[in-house]
Amino acid sequence: MLEKLDRQRTDLARAAEQLATLTARAVSTDRLIEVTVDARGLLVDLQIEPAALRRHRAPVLAELITDLVAAADQQLRHQREHLLAAVAETAPGYADVSGGNRT
């Protein structure tokens, strides 16, 4: 049982490191706008091709950027869920903790 707990502790520490460094990127369908968000879902990089400024008016451009940030944040949620699900699979069950005895 202690071996399983040690493995889980190691897995949790690794997952915490991975969660802290996650990033996600989203690109517009016309490939003129690209956003990157960090592990907290904050915009950390924004690339706008000059053609996007000619093609889209400011309100449309703002909406596109907002939508891309939301899409990248959704990717982050999936990445987090995947990482945490992998750790949860290694979690000891009640029988592991109690030694298999129900009292």
Q: Which amino acid is at 61?
A: L
CATH numbers and ranges of domains, the chain: 2-9+20-92 (3.30.1310.10)
Q: What pTM did the predictor assign?
A: 0.74
Q: Mean pLDDT over all residues of the chain?
A: 87
Question: What tokens were used for 101?
Answer: 């005895």
Question: Is the model's pLDDT at 94 over the cut of 80?
Answer: no
> Which residues sit opposite 78 in a β-bridge?
none
pLDDT digits (tens, 9 = 90+) for 26-47: 999 999 999 999 999 999 999 9
CA distance linking residue 30 with residue 32, whole number of Å: 5
Question: Is the model's pLDDT at 10 over the cut of 80?
Answer: yes
Listing DSSP states for 68-93 in one string gives HHHHHHHHHHHHHHHHHHHHHHTS--
